[in-house]
Structure 1
Amino acid sequence: MTTTAETAETTVPRSNPTAVTHDVTNQPPPLTGHDLADDAVLIEAVRREGAEWHLDELHRLGRFAGSEEAQLWADQANRHEPVLHTHDRYGHRVDEVEFHPAYHHLMNSSVGAGLAGAAWADERPGAHVARAASFMLTTMLEPGHLCPISMTYAVVPALRHSPELAATYEPLLTSRVYDPGLRTPADKRGLLAGMGMTEKQGGTDVRANTTTAVEQPDGTWRLRGHKWFTSAPMNDLFLVLAQAPGGLSCFLVPRVLPDGSRNTFRIQRLKDKLGNRSNASSEPEFDDTVAWLVGPEGKGVRTIIEMVTMTRLDCVLGSAAGTRAALAQAAHHVRHRAVFGAKLIDQPLMRNVIGDLALESEAATGLALRLAGAADRAQRGDAQERAFLRLATAVAKYWVCKRQPAAVAEALECLGGNGYDEASGMPRLYREAPLNGIWEGSGNVNALDMLRALTREPESLDAFRTEVEAAAGADRRLDAAWRELRDELAPTEDAALRARRVIERAALVLQGSLLVRHAPAAVADAFCASRLAGDRGLAFGTLPSGTDFAGLLARLPH
């Protein structure tokens, strides 16, 4: 007969310090220590657009962006957000923004890699393509810090409307030295630039701006007013729109004047944004702020539009890169995760989803770098490429940026609950995804800009036609889609109402032409079957039977 105590000992297990209670299995390893440039789609596009000479540097940057240290900086720069200091301890107005050291590490790397203005000082053909490819890799690492980088790149052609100002500032804007802090521009080794266009009451309608400009006897101007969304307020220079007696004009506003005194640039607050948390976006007030006229008085929009064009190019590059970053994370997960006895990558429905995302990403990447090639050749005097860029930038800005949020959401879902966890990095990609569709003109703005190009610059349609018809006869579905699009491009009374539908079809036809000419048959066939013909589902993962999924998955980034 046993006692109660003896019974308890036989039914309650004793503590065993060697027992394993928490094995971690069936989880993918961290996606670090790899080369982001180990990507056939990206490399082929760089070669195609004339920057093969840049590949060694691209791989160096790719290894940096894939390193554990760089990814830690990206996480820290977003977790430790910029902090505004309006006054010092004594009550003096300072209007400075403090950034985490990780942000400065990223900025130092990107400026050093030539992603700011350096391409304008590089005479090699393909310099802007090289910069675009590097910009994409760095966006995959951390996009927020690239806002000041992008604006600095874009300010150079606009500033050239005033040769004296360009001669003073361009050598520093094209520098590869990151020299932070508010000091006299001439005493710095490198400068960063920004822009101030929108106001509370105007937004896209910049002609409704109320900031005023008054000319002074010494040839400078004084600004008074506000701006509603000015990013990177610690940059050295800003192009600003203001109302002069002769109409809306463009002005150069430095944070620090040539004599070393602070220009009036009162930062009211920083924006509390959905994403882009590493980057500071502000609301500055101007009050007797010193400025210099850039370009002719009354021609501010025409002057600053050169900057807008280049930042729109970066929006396309950024969205293509954001889509590819999400795809890379999803592909890595499904390569390692097993479900129902097989890796996810081998499950038919998941192959459809990942293959469809890969198709979307390749189409976006190829189009983005085609634009970069056009921008490079346009800067070297190619009128045909300049005309193509005029229409194709609006088309690509609309579509590639519009597709990014949907693609990132689908990629996040591939990770299941892991993708919804901040530690995965996917929520940060998701929050970032809508930005490029808004910055430098929302979807409606670009759709209407397409209509303006068609009516006011018919040479842009001729160049677009030449590009698309380079693939004529190669795929009947593409040929049919182009015939239908030509009819839709004709001006009608309801053109504005239909603009989104037309620009969508224009983007798909252009992407189809590029893929038919340059991508493997598996990619081109799947794109034409799913995007240009047939009854495609509304979600990713609805590619038809007969799709060469092995061919699509072979194009995944590694």
Structure 2
Amino acid sequence: MPDIHRNIPDSAGLNAFRADPALRRLLEVYLSPEDFAALLPQFDRMGALAGGELEELALVADKNPPTLKIRNRIGADDQRVETHPSYQRLEHYAFGEFGLAAMSHRGGVFGRAGKLPPIAKYALVYLFVQAEFGLCCPLSMTDSLTRTLVKFGDPDLVAEYFDQLTSQDMDVLFQGAMFMTEQMAGSDVGAIDTVARKDAEGNWRLYGDKWFCSNPDADLAMVLARPEGAGEGTKALSLFLLPRRLPDGTPNAYRILRLKEKMGTKSMASGEIALEGAVAHLVGDPGQGFKQMTDMINMSRLANGVRSAGMMRRSVAEALFIARHRTAFGKRLLDLPLMRRQLLKMLVTAEQGRSMVFHTARVLERADAGDARAAKVLRILTPLLKFRTCRDARKVAGDAMEVRGGCGYIEEFSDARVLRDAHLGSIWEGTSNIVALDVARATRREGALEALRAHLDELGEEAGNMMPGGLADALARACDYMEAVARDPAREAEVRQAASAVYNAASAVIMAWEDARMTGGQGDRARLAGLVLTHKLLPRDPLAGGGDGAADADLLERAFHDMQPIAEAAE
């Protein structure tokens, strides 16, 4: 039974996995039967932790941010970032017990012989982030740095660091970071002026300032720099791996100047760094740094989308719980028509995000296996979800705070923390304008929209009668619109509108396809797809009136019912 005192419901201790049966059904779609059976206990355990210990740790870590220490007590240089024990415990779960930064790169996590598919990692992160967001940044950067290093690095360099980057032993683990942003070069990467010079021994050394570096005391960081004399623009940039310490154990020649005082992600340190001749290793070919870094950025963008989708689910789950257990004007909130309409809108948007990130994980697996068309589909899905899912999270988190009311505005609950953190997704790894323009670039230069359209047409055929009437036509119109806008420089101001149309159409098709593949499904995802079509793709007269239909009411009733704690344990 929920803890309710004076009409204030508290969902503390609710298992985030068991209270979300739709997630279980989706994982049966996206995982093989063998992987699903093996991983089910891990999903259940993460769900329990997210609603219990992880949530408690995250609240404490948020109120006890990291501090920068410059010297030790006898005055010797000893620069380090100190984190609260609650944050360290969160690290233990994410990096250690669950191996979230390791499972995509080696076998052995959870006793499995080989690497786990991307959806396994992203589903666990989806649950983890419902408690803690800040740590997910170092987690995804460690994961994506390892991927980029393995993909482009010299084999000897990979061998030197791979075991530490993928270790689940916290005393051995090397965490990763990405140092790219500069004061004169935020979104304009081509303006980077950090210089790389070779010393007398042939070692590369980096000089310059990096303005926004999350996880600044990471053991390894990927850094973009301009080799001396290489020229201007992105084509002259190279990618370097920067170790925190040199082989003899001495600190490398860079300093953390200060830590940022941020609006959100307070548990995790971000700072400014001065590179003062720091030794670094060239990764890949000179002059290809931006292209190679793009791989890491894209993985971080996908991770941002997963985190935003997870926070939307947390927000919707809290709102549904409150509406079921709080009363006003002699009724439960869930029986009030305006509240039902607000909750349904939140639910649709959150489910769009979930389907988009899970399906993108499926496409990523195929692309990494050598599927050329999947690689093109991934190229456009990643900025699409980074653009729309991350922006939607801000709105959904704000609406959830409103459902809780005044208690949502105080820091004893997590609503304010989630809302602050939700704003980050649409800024890091490219602001909304930048990633919307990237959707247009992928359309114009790489044929990515054409590949996505073909992919979605195939999903629509597989969905069969689960496809809402008119959705195929809406998809075609959205793609035609994006194509026209992407190829006309005079229509750049329409890029965000066109990208939103493609996102909405794609998410609706994917949800219909998921419904067709579900065992024992009730048509809920097809109904969600229909709501996306009706409310986000088709023209409507705002003065025509009309409310939600019986089918919509039935959909919301099941969502309320699903929020009851599930009695049986995961098998």
TM-score by length of 1: 0.89
Instruction: From 6, 23, 39, give the equivalent of 1:42.
Output: 23
State the match for 1:272 in structure 2.
Answer: 261
After TM superposition, the structure 1 = structure 2 runs for residues 254-403 of structure 1, keeping only pairs within 5 Å, are 254-403=243-392
State the match for 1:458 in structure 2.
Answer: 447
Q: For 2:105, what is the secondary structure of its paired residue?
A: helix
Instruction: From 122, 136, 161, give the equivalent of 2:126.
Output: 136
Kindly indicate whether the alpha-carbon contact (under 8 Å) linking 1:354 and 1:553 is maintained by their aligned counterparts in 2.
no
State the match for 1:102 in structure 2.
Answer: 86
State the match for 1:17 in structure 2.
Answer: none
After TM superposition, the structure 1 = structure 2 runs for residues 52-131 of structure 1, keeping only pairs within 5 Å, are 52=36, 53-67=38-52, 69-112=53-96, 113-122=98-107, 124=114, 127-131=117-121
Number of aligned residue pairs: give it. 524
Kindly indicate whether the alpha-carbon contact (under 8 Å) linking 1:212 and 1:224 is maintained by their aligned counterparts in 2.
yes
Task: State the AA in 2 paired with 1:552.
Answer: L
Kindly indicate whether the alpha-carbon contact (under 8 Å) linking 1:35 and 1:62 is maintained by their aligned counterparts in 2.
yes
Larger radius of gyration: 1
Kindly indicate whether the alpha-carbon contact (under 8 Å) linking 1:128 and 1:373 is maintained by their aligned counterparts in 2.
yes
Kindly indicate whether the alpha-carbon contact (under 8 Å) linking 2:453 and 2:479 is maintained by their aligned counterparts in 1.
no
Range that drifts further, 220-229 or 101-110? 220-229
Q: Distance in 2 between matches of 1:233 and 1:354?
A: 39
Instruction: From 457, 462, 467, give the equivalent of 2:456.
Output: 467
Query: Measured at CA, do residues 236 and 171 of structure 1 come closer, stay the same or move farther in structure 2, by a change above 3 Å?
Result: same
CA drift at 1:49: 1.8
The reply to whether residue 151 of structure 1 matches residue 141 of structure 2 is yes
Task: State the AA in 1 paired with 2:389.
Answer: V
Instruction: From 32, 42, 45, give the equivalent of 2:13.
Output: 32
Range that drifts further, 408-417 or 27-36? 27-36
Report the identity percentage: 32
Query: Measured at CA, do residues 451 and 555 of structure 1 come closer, stay the same or move farther in structure 2, by a change above 3 Å?
Result: same
The reply to whether residue 499 of structure 1 matches residue 484 of structure 2 is no
Q: Distance in 2 between matches of 1:375 and 1:150?
A: 15
Kindly indicate whether the alpha-carbon contact (under 8 Å) linking 1:316 and 1:396 is maintained by their aligned counterparts in 2.
yes
Q: Distance in 1 between matches of 2:320 and 2:500?
A: 27
Q: For 1:229, what is the secondary structure of its paired residue?
A: strand
Query: Measured at CA, do residues 494 and 117 of structure 1 come closer, stay the same or move farther in structure 2, by a change above 3 Å?
Result: farther
CA drift at 1:31: 2.4
Instruction: From 165, 175, 196, give the equivalent of 1:173.
Output: 165
Q: For 1:250, what is the secondary structure of its paired residue?
A: strand
Q: For 1:228, what is the secondary structure of its paired residue?
A: strand
Q: Distance in 2 between matches of 1:110 and 1:227?
A: 27
Q: Distance in 1 between matches of 2:198 and 2:449?
A: 38
Query: Measured at CA, do residues 125 and 530 of structure 1 come closer, stay the same or move farther in structure 2, by a change above 3 Å?
Result: farther
The reply to whether residue 527 of structure 1 matches residue 519 of structure 2 is no
Q: For 2:15, what is the secondary structure of its paired residue?
A: coil
Query: Measured at CA, do residues 261 and 356 of structure 1 come closer, stay the same or move farther in structure 2, by a change above 3 Å?
Result: same
State the match for 1:484 in structure 2.
Answer: 477
Q: Distance in 1 between matches of 2:345 and 2:457?
A: 23
The reply to whether residue 203 of structure 1 matches residue 186 of structure 2 is yes
State the match for 2:217 in structure 1.
Answer: 234
Q: Distance in 2 between matches of 1:536 and 1:142?
A: 41
Task: State the AA in 1 paired with 2:495.
Answer: A
Kindly indicate whether the alpha-carbon contact (under 8 Å) linking 1:468 and 1:509 is maintained by their aligned counterparts in 2.
no
Q: Distance in 1 between matches of 2:90 and 2:164?
A: 19
Query: Measured at CA, do residues 466 and 377 of structure 1 come closer, stay the same or move farther in structure 2, by a change above 3 Å?
Result: closer
Range that drifts further, 50-59 or 312-321? 50-59
State the 4+ residue runs in structure 1 displaced beyond 4 angstroms. 123-126
State the match for 1:508 in structure 2.
Answer: 504
Query: Measured at CA, do residues 237 and 386 of structure 1 come closer, stay the same or move farther in structure 2, by a change above 3 Å?
Result: same
CA drift at 1:486: 2.9
Q: Distance in 1 between matches of 2:542 and 2:8?
A: 31
Task: State the AA in 2 paired with 1:254.
Answer: P
CA drift at 1:114: 1.8
Query: Measured at CA, do residues 74 and 306 of structure 1 come closer, stay the same or move farther in structure 2, by a change above 3 Å?
Result: same
Q: For 2:9, what is the secondary structure of its paired residue?
A: coil
The reply to whether residue 250 of structure 1 matches residue 239 of structure 2 is yes
Q: Distance in 2 between matches of 1:425 and 1:58?
A: 22
Q: Distance in 1 between matches of 2:106 and 2:366?
A: 15
CA drift at 1:384: 2.4
State the match for 1:11 in structure 2.
Answer: none
Q: For 1:175, what is the secondary structure of its paired residue?
A: coil
Query: Measured at CA, do residues 40 and 543 of structure 1 come closer, stay the same or move farther in structure 2, by a change above 3 Å?
Result: farther
Query: Measured at CA, do residues 480 and 435 of structure 1 come closer, stay the same or move farther in structure 2, by a change above 3 Å?
Result: same
State the match for 1:4 in structure 2.
Answer: none
Instruction: From 420, 432, 435, give the equivalent of 2:421.
Output: 432
Task: State the AA in 2 paired with 1:47.
Answer: E
Kindly indicate whether the alpha-carbon contact (under 8 Å) linking 1:83 and 1:97 is maintained by their aligned counterparts in 2.
yes
Q: Distance in 2 between matches of 1:553 and 1:85?
A: 53
Query: Measured at CA, do residues 307 and 327 of structure 1 come closer, stay the same or move farther in structure 2, by a change above 3 Å?
Result: same
Task: State the AA in 1 paired with 2:226.
Answer: Q
Q: Distance in 2 between matches of 1:537 and 1:116?
A: 47
CA drift at 1:166: 1.3
Q: For 1:554, what is the secondary structure of its paired residue?
A: helix
1:282-305: per-residue Cα shift (whole Å, max 9, x none)? 001010111110111111101111
Q: Distance in 2 between matches of 1:271 and 1:373?
A: 36
State the match for 2:519 in structure 1.
Answer: none
1:394-430: per-residue Cα shift (whole Å, max 9, x none)? 1111000111111111111111111112112111111
1:179-224: per-residue Cα shift (whole Å, max 9, x none)? 3xxxxxxxxx221110100100111112211111112344421111
The reply to whether residue 548 of structure 1 matches residue 531 of structure 2 is no
